[in-house]
């Protein structure tokens, strides 16, 4: 450039190009799911696996007592089973949460950082904190998708027989089953899901892709593929599905064709447009509509799932689905008197149907080939109630580092505590090299995320409840 009328001989004395001495903000993922996670502290000295227990409910009594039993007898004819008695009073179920360390470090020469135009030391902390938040959100999303997109899949090959091995895109939820117990003639699942076998079977319904009538069978075995080929993997590296084989016994010889859908008797609810039963059946016409969310919210209500403290369920969807829903006339009418949520900042609320719409960039996106051999992309929204996810953070992070404070090995900044929304540590390790220049910056989180089951809440207890083992969220899957 030239400076107005400055002589050319003098222009070299001016800085021709200038560098701005700062870093500008980078694009960040919209991490929102952890707002929906229930926090469960993991106490000290309990090992790496926590097993949580949930009690089922007593079956309602709707028949009148027999008046002839109203005598001076001890129990008046009332059947009073209890815990430990021959006839259990109610079932219990259990699920596990595994804790592990997750961390990332960046090294920096603290003297060289003094020479740069902007401080990499500060920028490193910005990036590490952002990475930690995104990592925990994706861990939660992976757990949610693995649980609530399980229990149903489609066949990858054609086979015929009475007892046959069927190759599936995803065997999650089809490879385990609950044992059952009986109380006053009512059968309940109980305990933890265990691997399917000849003595621990799982009922399944087959929906032929041809449109023929459905038929039922019994899964007695399951084996994962040596190399996972499930379409339920994402560009972000989340693996939510496991391809493999299930062995199914039918009452008569049946033919399973490519694209036939298998649905477990306790599969979570997955809603797709136009009554499509699998991802593979989705076409370009299967886009998002408000009625899908209403149906999902109705299922949560029917299951007796509580909304969040603001009185709404969280409907988490990605930006593309959010754009689709804006074109739906029903949605446009419902949001004319738009309200705001105090819990989910920046979200939209439909008060009439009790939904808070929340955009997130961390939802799974699956690439697949549909039944018409067309390369496609599917997207999903999760409609979530209270308790769908539990996050356990190891309490020893705070006490352990506090006990090491006198050792002068580094500087630890704990962001919150085990019950907070940001339970991780930022750790600075001073230089250990001879020139005392190379410092290390690290974030660390020790914990895990689990989805608790609600299999014991059957329609014998809540008449409108589904048989799903996971009841506190509903998946809405559409074409991308």
DSSP, residue by residue, 240-296: ----EEEEEEEEEEEEE-TT-EEEETTPPPEE-GGG--SGGG--TT----HHHHHHH
pLDDT at site 206? 98
The mean pLDDT of 89-118, rounded to a whole number, is: 80
> Is residue 228 situated within a structural domain?
yes
> Is residue 15 situated within a structural domain?
no
Residue with the larger pLDDT of the pair 409 and 300: 300
Regarding whether 299 and 396 lie in a shared domain, the answer is yes
Regarding whether 219 and 98 lie in a shared domain, the answer is no
Residue 26's SS3 state is: coil
Regarding whether 180 and 308 lie in a shared domain, the answer is no
> Is residue 78 situated within a structural domain?
no
pLDDT at site 124? 83
Residue with the larger pLDDT of the pair 43 and 465: 465
| Domain carrying residue 230 | 152-265
pLDDT at site 460? 87
Residue 73 has phi, psi (to 5 degrees) of -65, 160
pLDDT at site 64? 75
Regarding whether 300 and 236 lie in a shared domain, the answer is no
Both tokens of 42, joined, read 């993991």
The mean pLDDT of 30-46, rounded to a whole number, is: 73
- List, in order, residues 6 or more apart from 193 with CB less than 8 Å away: 176, 177, 178, 453, 469
Task: Say if residue 59's pLDDT is above 60.
Answer: yes
Residue 27's SS3 state is: coil
Most confidently modeled of 28-37, 141-150, 346-355, 454-463? 141-150
Q: If pLDDT is split at 50, 70 and 90, which confidence band does 411 have? A: confident
C-alpha dist (Å) from residue 127 to 118, 130, 134, 393, 431: 14, 5, 10, 22, 21
Residue 350's SS3 state is: strand
Report pLDDT digits (tens) over 266-317.
Answer: 999 999 999 999 999 999 999 999 999 999 999 999 999 999 988 899 999 9
Q: If pLDDT is split at 50, 70 and 90, which confidence band does 244 have? A: very high
Both ends of the chain: CA-CA distance in Å? 48
Residue 160's SS3 state is: strand
Task: Say if residue 1's pLDDT is above 50.
Answer: no
To 10 degrees, the CA torsion angle through 118, 121, 127, 129?
Answer: -140
Q: Which residues of 197-217 are buried (b: 16+ CB within 10 A; e: fewer)?
A: eeebbbebebbbbeeeeeeeb
Q: What percent of the chain has pLDDT over 70?
A: 79
- List, in order, residues 6 or more apart from 211 with CB less than 8 Å away: none
Q: If pLDDT is split at 50, 70 and 90, which confidence band does 262 have? A: very high
> Is residue 416 situated within a structural domain?
yes
CB atoms within 10 A of CB 367: 13
Residue whose entry in the numeric block shows the structure tokens 């989180």: 445
Report pLDDT digits (tens) over 165-177.
Answer: 999 999 999 999 9
pLDDT at site 437? 86
Regarding whether 285 and 421 lie in a shared domain, the answer is yes
pLDDT at site 119? 76
The mean pLDDT of 316-339, rounded to a whole number, is: 77
The residue out of 236, 265, 294 marking a domain boundary is 265
Report pLDDT digits (tens) over 19-33.
Answer: 544 445 555 566 677
Please give the tally of structural domains in the chain: 2
> Is residue 388 situated within a structural domain?
yes
Regarding whether 310 and 257 lie in a shared domain, the answer is no
pLDDT at site 122? 81
pTM: 0.84
Residue with the larger pLDDT of the pair 12 and 458: 458
Task: Say if residue 433's pLDDT is above 60.
Answer: yes
Residue with the larger pLDDT of the pair 278 and 87: 278
Regarding whether 353 and 422 lie in a shared domain, the answer is yes
Round to whole Å and give the CA distance between 353 and 298: 9
The mean pLDDT of 78-84, rounded to a whole number, is: 56
Round to whole Å and give the CA distance between 50 and 251: 40
Regarding whether 444 and 325 lie in a shared domain, the answer is yes
**pLDDT, the chain, mean:** 83
Round to whole Å and give the CA distance between 242 and 383: 23
DSSP summary character for residue 302: H
Task: Say if residue 69's pLDDT is above 90.
Answer: no
pLDDT at site 129? 81
Regarding whether 314 and 249 lie in a shared domain, the answer is no
> Is residue 57 situated within a structural domain?
no
Regarding whether 135 and 177 lie in a shared domain, the answer is no
> Is residue 69 situated within a structural domain?
no
The residue out of 246, 265, 284 marking a domain boundary is 265
Regarding whether 291 and 211 lie in a shared domain, the answer is no
Regarding whether 189 and 315 lie in a shared domain, the answer is no
Most confidently modeled of 238-242, 299-303, 354-358? 299-303
The residue out of 265, 297, 325 marking a domain boundary is 265
Among 46-50, 89-93, 267-271, which is the least confidently predicted range? 46-50
Both tokens of 148, joined, read 């609530």
> Is residue 2 situated within a structural domain?
no
The CB-side HSE value for 393 (13 A sphere, CA atoms) comes to 23
């Amino acid at each position: 450039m030239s400076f107005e009328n400055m002589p050319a001989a003098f222009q070299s004395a001016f800085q021709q190009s200038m560098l701005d001495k700062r870093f500008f903000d980078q694009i960040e993922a919209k991490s929102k799911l952890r707002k929906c996670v229930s926090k469960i502290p993991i106490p000290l000295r309990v090992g790496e696996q926590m097993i949580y227990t949930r009690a089922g409910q007593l079956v309602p009594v709707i028949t009148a007592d027999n008046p002839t039993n109203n005598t001076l007898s001890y129990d008046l004819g009332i059947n009073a089973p209890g815990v430990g008695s021959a006839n259990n009073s109610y079932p219990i179920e259990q699920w596990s949460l595994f804790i592990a360390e997750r961390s990332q470090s960046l090294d920096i020469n603290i003297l060289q950082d003094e020479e740069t135009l902007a401080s990499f030391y500060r920028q490193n902390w910005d990036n590490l904190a952002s990475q930690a938040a995104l990592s925990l959100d994706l861990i939660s999303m992976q757990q949610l998708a693995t649980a609530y997109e399980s229990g149903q899949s489609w066949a990858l090959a054609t086979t015929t027989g009475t007892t046959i091995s069927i190759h599936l895109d995803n065997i999650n939820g089809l490879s385990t089953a609950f044992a059952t117990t009986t109380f006053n003639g009512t059968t309940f699942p109980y305990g933890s899901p265990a691997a399917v076998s000849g003595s621990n079977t799982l009922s399944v319904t087959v929906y032929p892709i041809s449109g023929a009538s459905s038929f039922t069978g019994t899964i007695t075995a399951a084996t994962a593929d040596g190399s996972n080929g499930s379409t339920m993997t994402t560009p972000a590296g989340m693996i939510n599905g496991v391809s493999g084989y299930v062995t199914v016994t039918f009452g008569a010889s049946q033919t399973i064709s490519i694209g036939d859908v298998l649905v477990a008797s306790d599969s979570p609810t997955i809603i797709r447009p136009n009554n499509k039963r699998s991802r593979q059946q989705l076409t370009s016409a299967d886009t998002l509509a408000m009625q899908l969310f209403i149906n999902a919210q109705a299922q949560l209500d029917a299951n007796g799932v509580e909304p969040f403290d603001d009185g709404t369920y969280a409907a988490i969807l990605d930006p593309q689905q959010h754009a689709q829903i804006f074109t739906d006339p029903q949605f446009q009418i419902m949001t004319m008197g738009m309200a705001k949520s105090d819990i989910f900042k920046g979200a939209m609320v439909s008060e009439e149907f009790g939904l808070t719409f929340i955009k997130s960039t961390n939802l799974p996106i699956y690439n697949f080939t549909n039944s018409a051999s067309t390369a496609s992309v599917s997207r999903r929204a999760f409609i979530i109630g209270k308790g769908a996810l539990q996050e356990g953070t190891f309490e020893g992070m705070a006490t352990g580092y506090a006990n090491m404070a006198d050792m002068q090995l580094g500087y630890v900044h704990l962001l919150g505590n085990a019950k907070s929304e940001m339970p991780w540590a930022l750790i600075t390790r001073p230089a250990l090299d001879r020139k005392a220049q190379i410092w290390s910056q690290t974030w660390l989180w020790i914990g895990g995320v689990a989805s608790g089951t609600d299999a014991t809440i059957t329609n014998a207890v809540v008449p409108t409840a589904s048989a799903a083992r996971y009841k506190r969220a509903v998946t809405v899957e559409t074409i991308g």
